[in-house]
Structure 1
Amino acid sequence: MKTNIFLLLTLLTASKGMAQLVNRFHDTKTVDAFFKYSSTRKHPLILAHRGGPGSSDTENSITTFDKTAKVLPDAIIEMDVRMTRDSGFVLLHDATLDRESDAKGPVSEKTLAELRKIKLKTLAGELTNQSMPTFTDILNWNKNRYMLALDVKPGTDPLRVMKEVDKHKAVHSVFVICYSFAEAQRVRDKYPTLWLAVGVNSMADLDKLENHPLASGHLIALTPQKLQPATYYERLHKLGILASVGTYGPGQLDEKPMAEAGAGYRDVVKQGGDILTTDRPQEVASLF
């Protein structure tokens, strides 16, 4: 009996660890299967906004990414990539250092060496001993284990960021958030099988997308936080495009108590949302 219990525990542990194997996302087939639209999908994909920090956590940090990924190995880890004065890449949500660290001023005016010396603050504003990670640090940490959503901020060239991704052989474990159809097409021309995400903010945008080369595949639609008519999501799904819905920010579901917001998250998925982009990934994932 004890042997059987030990064997069961070993199998369960191994099964859980499978989602975190190095080079889990190793080729186009693997990432395509991860994002493939299915009308029978039972659970939405969970995208951890800024890594999913709680009030006592730092955002855009390896500490927080690791914490989220260990609990939700299938979560998408979102991060904000910015370029330094000397063309390095670091992670920070804001254009300036003031809110998130013990330094001040624009990220773009600091060198990589200068930024390595600063310490991060938690969401509650408490100073920590955590250093700001470089984008290279993140790729070395991930080792293609988890899917990373790269919000390449305005002023930072996504193609230059992708050169770093290429260097680490990590093209199949990332997708790039683009700020326009034109920017997305520029990246698509260089990386035909790379998954991209772009805003589809209205029916007019959807009309444009349906006749755009981007609609040929490997695309995620960043849709309005306000729920759209069911036909809107149906049109995206007909193209094989997943709909990502953000639930963070003032007045949104993430700001409400879970007991009150639970039905709202389920309504988003029922209406046609495939990816929930949330500040509280663990709690939201537990609803499904």
Structure 2
Amino acid sequence: MKIRLKFIICALCILSTTACFRTNGTADLGHLGKHNQIFNFAGVEDLHKFLTYSDKRVPLVSAHRGGPDLDYPENALETFQRVAYKTPSIIECDIALSKDSVLVLMHDETLDRTTTGKGNTIHKTLEELKKLRLKDTQGNLTSYQIPTLEEALAWGKGKVIFTLDIKRNVPYRLVVDAIRKTHAEAYVALITYNVNQAALVNNLAPDLMISASIRNADDLIRLNDADVPDTRILAFIGTKEADRQLTDLLHQHGILCILGTMGNLDRQAETRGDQLYAEFIERGADILSTDRPVQAAKSLQYYIRKRGLSSPYID
């Protein structure tokens, strides 16, 4: 009897160890559960139409780094899902590269601030990265893992729109390949910081949406001269409100304007009241890139109801 009991305990230990090894090697995302569809895009053309300006457009929040909060780390699928449950959202997340050339979600070059690891992300294999756990905004340890880009894209279909911030030394080609592999074209835009980057992305994947930095009319002209079409552009207009002449010009070209409220404008809203988010929309912004997506969304939901706005692409 004792021998049999020892055998059972040994077998359970082996199974437990094997299960842990599998989880570390390939993320088990079953704990995220089912999620109703939010965005209804039949294909990439629907995304283009949805992200084209009209006076009936539905304003959106873009959750900066996925919308981290207490118990919810940045660039974590669990954090993305928390935001997506509360409001139709754009998820802005950061793409880094592992030692074995796997695309993962990570903002910093080093692992120290946001994980239980140390050193540079690029010096760790995916297997090593999957053994780490993510920390929340207060530095508290969570049970969540670093996701791969492919895991995030596979999860996000119908749930969110991604804007992908591609970190230094990450080839755009690898990101485009991951988008193609997961058939994510209809819910992704790539972030660029200058005309050369925007032109490169457009040449690699002319069907994809591009978030381009546009601070004045000359920036738009340079993008047009580089053959980046207006129909593929989202304009990031900065972290302070732009001149109304610029937003009007962009709207005339059918281009939506992303205002970065993370930082000073978020602090203003927190101090003066969240209705300020709706005022940003009233004054020309269309998408708010914010560190307070839940609070901003509540303000925009009131704005949307008051004006009777809707979209056939939001369920």
Deviations 1:40-84 (A, max 9, x none): 33x421111111122332111011011111111x21111101111
Note the C-alpha offset of 1:212.
4.0
Map 1:55-204 to 2 at 5 A: 55-72=70-87, 74-204=88-218
Q: 1:105 to 1:202 in 2, by over 3 A?
A: farther
SS in 1 for 2:50: helix
CA distance in 1, matches of 2:185, 2:66: 19
SS in 2 for 1:197: strand
**Paired residues of 2:115 and 2:134 also in contact (CA < 8 A):** yes
Out of 257, 272, 276, the residue aligned to residue 260 of structure 1 is 272
CA distance in 1, matches of 2:45, 2:138: 41
Residue 38 (structure 2) pairs with residue 19 (structure 1): yes
Q: Provide the TM-score with structure 1 as the length reference.
A: 0.86
CA distance in 2, matches of 1:18, 1:63: 16
Q: Who wins on radius of gyration, i.e. which is larger?
A: 2
SS in 1 for 2:206: coil
What's the counterpart of residue 46 of structure 2?
30
**Paired residues of 1:53 and 1:279 also in contact (CA < 8 A):** yes
Q: Provide the TM-score with structure 2 as the length reference.
A: 0.79
SS in 2 for 1:276: strand
Structure number with the higher strand fraction is: 1
Q: Which stretch of the first structure deviates more once superposed, 60-69 or 265-274?
A: 265-274
CA distance in 2, matches of 1:190, 1:210: 17
Q: 1:164 to 1:207 in 2, by over 3 A?
A: closer
Q: Which stretch of the first structure deviates more once superposed, 240-249 or 32-41?
A: 32-41
What's the counterpart of residue 51 of structure 1?
66
Note the C-alpha offset of 1:33.
2.5
Note the C-alpha offset of 1:139.
2.1
Deviations 1:107-166 (A, max 9, x none): 111111111111100010001121111112212222343211111112111221110111
**Paired residues of 2:94 and 2:105 also in contact (CA < 8 A):** yes
Q: How many residues align?
A: 266
**Paired residues of 2:210 and 2:234 also in contact (CA < 8 A):** yes
**Paired residues of 2:45 and 2:186 also in contact (CA < 8 A):** no
What's the counterpart of residue 243 of structure 1?
257
CA distance in 2, matches of 1:18, 1:113: 31
CA distance in 2, matches of 1:239, 1:209: 13
Unaligned segments of structure 2, at least 5 residues: 1-34, 301-315
**Structure 1 residue ranges (4+ consecutive) displaced by more than 4 angstroms after TM superposition:** none
Deviations 1:175-234 (A, max 9, x none): 111122111111111221210111113444244335442144211011121222211111
CA distance in 1, matches of 2:274, 2:197: 35
What's the counterpart of residue 280 of structure 1?
292
Note the C-alpha offset of 1:94.
1.1
The one-letter code of the counterpart of 2:80 is F
Deviations 1:16-45 (A, max 9, x none): 94526xxx334123212321201233x421
Unaligned segments of structure 1, at least 5 residues: 1-15
CA-based RMSD of the aligned residues comes to: 1.9
Query: What percent identity do the matched residue pairs reach?
Result: 33
Residue 39 (structure 2) pairs with residue 39 (structure 1): no
CA distance in 2, matches of 1:84, 1:186: 23
**Paired residues of 2:37 and 2:158 also in contact (CA < 8 A):** no
Q: 1:52 to 1:35 in 2, by over 3 A?
A: same
CA distance in 2, matches of 1:216, 1:204: 14
The one-letter code of the counterpart of 2:257 is A
CA distance in 1, matches of 2:177, 2:288: 28
SS in 1 for 2:212: strand
